[in-house]
């Protein structure tokens, strides 16, 4: 066995390699969890597809956007909404692991302290890559076209995933604060709704009442949607992309330490 029985073997390099290896193992474990419940995976991708159909064919006709087809306006919004709602799975997953005592068991193993949270958020990042691919295909089927370039699309996806990853750490805080997974789920929605719907994801902010416009323009979902939109369908990119990056990094810098702190004190 390669078990360490000597404290002097715990060099920084060893710790780093161990943290990486432990994170990889737990990422695999969490992904297997998703794969083994295909129903959950199926229905969690059905929901964004329904949103695509709902806004494309039911509400879309009544929404006026200037300068582009509504479906091109809509899809970047759907992307961001989907990864934002997907972040709930981070909180549910952690709350469930706490509830079942498996995190306690992990704490009795010689693993890196960071591995449980890193493994969970990494698995959710990989899940998001797959979800974004599915939604792109669905978008193409209903008439969405990337009008910039493949590079523009990939840059948009990059920002989207960065936002999703940062948000995962925020939802980790909820998962680590909730008494059980059901509560973690209901605690998440009051945060998600004002973020995703009072945003530029589905309708132009200019159509909202003036008191709402300030919030709706500058809140992170709108900024990330706008950045993704210009990267995929054209428009002036620089300011929006910077703003989006600042939001993503800011969310991560503030919420990740809180998640780590919650994990240490609660698990």
Partner 1 sequence: MPFAIEVEDLEKTFKGDIRALSGVTFSVEEGTVFGLLGPNGAGKTTVVRILTTILQPDVGLARVLGHDVVREPDVVRTLFGLAGQYAAVDENLTGRENLVMVSRLNNMSKSASRQRAGELLGEFDLVDASDRVLKTYSGGMRRRLDVAAALVTRPRVLFLDEPTTGLDPKSRNDLWDVIEQLVATGTTVLLTTQYLDEADRLAQRIAVVDHGQVISQGTPTELKANFGDSVLELGFANEGDASKAITSLTALGGHPAHLLGTSVEMTLEGGAANVISALRTLDDVELAPTTFAVREPSLDDVFLSLTGHQAVDAAPAGDLDAATASKRQRRGGRAQ
Residues forming contacts to partner 1 in the complex (CB under 8 A) are 1-7, 10, 18, 21-22, 25-26, 28-29, 32-33, 36-37, 98-111, 176, 179-180, 264-267
Q: Tell me the CB-side half-sphere exposure of residue 102, using CA atoms within 13 A.
A: 10
Are the beta carbons of 197 and 219 closer than 8 angstroms? no
Query: Of 109 and 150, which CB lies nearer to partner 1 in the complex structure?
Result: 109
Neighbours of 217 (CB within 10 A): 15
Neighbours of 170 (CB within 10 A): 20
Neighbours of 22 (CB within 10 A): 21
Structure tokens at 156: 């948009």
Q: How far is the CB of 96 from partner 1 (least distance, A)?
A: 10
Query: Of 4 and 16, which CB lies nearer to partner 1 in the complex structure?
Result: 4
Query: Of 106 and 169, which CB lies nearer to partner 1 in the complex structure?
Result: 106
Query: Of 29 and 126, which CB lies nearer to partner 1 in the complex structure?
Result: 29
Q: How far is the CB of 118 from partner 1 (least distance, A)?
A: 13
Q: How far is the CB of 126 from partner 1 (least distance, A)?
A: 16
Q: How far is the CB of 44 from partner 1 (least distance, A)?
A: 15
Q: How far is the CB of 30 from partner 1 (least distance, A)?
A: 9
Query: Of 31 and 69, which CB lies nearer to partner 1 in the complex structure?
Result: 31
Report how far residue 91's alpha carbon sits from residue 87's, in angstroms, rounded to the nearest whole number: 7
Are the beta carbons of 69 and 143 closer than 8 angstroms? yes
């Amino acid at each position: 066995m390669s078990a360490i029985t000597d404290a002097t073997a715990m060099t920084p390099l060893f710790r780093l390699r161990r943290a990486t290896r432990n994170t990889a193992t737990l990422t695999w474990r969490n992904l297997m969890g998703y794969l083994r419940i295909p129903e959950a995976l199926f229905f969690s991708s059905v929901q964004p597809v329904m949103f695509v159909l709902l806004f494309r064919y039911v509400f879309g006709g009544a929404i006026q956007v200037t300068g582009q087809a509504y479906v091109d306006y809509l899809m970047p919004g759907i992307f961001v909404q989907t990864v934002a709602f997907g972040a709930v799975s981070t909180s549910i997953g952690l709350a469930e692991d706490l509830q079942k005592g498996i995190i306690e068991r992990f704490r009795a193993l010689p693993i890196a302290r960071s591995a449980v949270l890193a493994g969970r958020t990494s698995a959710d990042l990989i899940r998001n890559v797959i979800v974004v691919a599915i939604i792109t295909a669905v978008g193409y089927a209903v008439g969405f076209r990337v009008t910039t370039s493949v590079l523009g699309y990939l840059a948009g996806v990059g920002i989207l995933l960065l936002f999703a990853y940062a948000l995962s750490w925020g939802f980790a805080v909820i998962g680590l604060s909730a008494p059980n997974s059901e509560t973690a789920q209901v605690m998440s929605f009051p945060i998600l709704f004002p973020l995703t719907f009072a945003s530029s994801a589905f309708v132009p902010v200019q159509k909202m009442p003036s008191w709402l416009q300030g919030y709706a323009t500058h809140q992170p979902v709108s900024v990330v949607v706008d950045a993704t939109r210009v990267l995929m369908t054209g428009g002036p990119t620089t300011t929006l992309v910077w703003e989006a990056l600042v939001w993503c990094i800011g969310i991560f810098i503030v919420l990740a330490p809180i998640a780590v702190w919650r994990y240490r004190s609660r698990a």
